[in-house]
């Protein structure tokens, strides 16, 4: 294979592997919570609604939005720094354009986290 074909293929495969790994760990965590609840019920233990709610939502939605927003904005800044460090004039604007997607998504998450604060 030529190098100009291998690099994009490896890029997309690595993105797919990263997303698949994150989804797998999320699935395993939920399966463990369900197994714990099932075992407690089989042993006859009472499960309060507060405990079930806490087990179901390990991280509150506001914190989740805040974390996602910070990570997305950081990813956009990383793209921007990469564009500057790369030093290629032809690549500068396309990389900054690519960085605008996680930046705007991050800003939206930060706004959502802020809106949830004002609701409570």
What confidence score (pLDDT) does residue 40 get? 85
Task: Give the rounded percent of residues in the chain with a pLDDT score beyond 90.
Answer: 28
* Same-domain check for residues 44 and 85: no
Q: DSSP 3-state assignment of 44?
A: coil
Task: Verify that 37 and 69 share a domain, yes or no.
Answer: no
Q: Looking at the 3D structure of the chain, how many domains does it have?
A: 2
Please give the backbone phi and psi of residue 110, each rounded to the nearest 5 degrees, phi first: -65, -40
User: Do residues 64 and 117 both lie within one domain?
Assistant: yes
Question: Residue-wise over 42-62: b if at least 16 C-beta within 10 A, else e?
Answer: eeeeeeeeeeeeebeeeeeeb
CB 99 within 8 A of CB 80: yes
> What's the pLDDT at 56?
67
What is the pLDDT, as a whole number, of residue 53? 74
Output the pLDDT for position 58.
61
Higher pLDDT: 49 or 17? It is: 17
Q: Give residue-wise pLDDT tens across range 33-65.
A: 888 888 888 888 887 887 777 776 665 777 888
For residue 57, what pLDDT is reported? 65
68 and 49 in a common domain:
no
Domain that holds residue 65: 59-120
The whole-chain average pLDDT of the chain stands at 84
């Amino acid at each position: 294979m030529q190098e100009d074909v291998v690099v994009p293929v490896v890029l997309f495969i690595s993105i797919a592997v990263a997303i698949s790994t994150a989804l797998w760990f999320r699935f395993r965590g939920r399966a463990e919570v369900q197994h714990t609840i099932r075992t407690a019920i089989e042993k006859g233990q009472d499960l309060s609604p507060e405990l079930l709610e806490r087990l179901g939502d390990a991280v509150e939605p506001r914190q989740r939005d805040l974390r996602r927003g910070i990570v997305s904005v950081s990813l956009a800044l990383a793209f921007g720094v990469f564009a500057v460090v790369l030093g290629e004039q032809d690549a500068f604007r396309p990389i900054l354009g690519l960085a605008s997607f996680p930046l705007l998504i991050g800003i939206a998450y930060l706004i959502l986290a802020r809106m949830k604060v004002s609701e409570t």
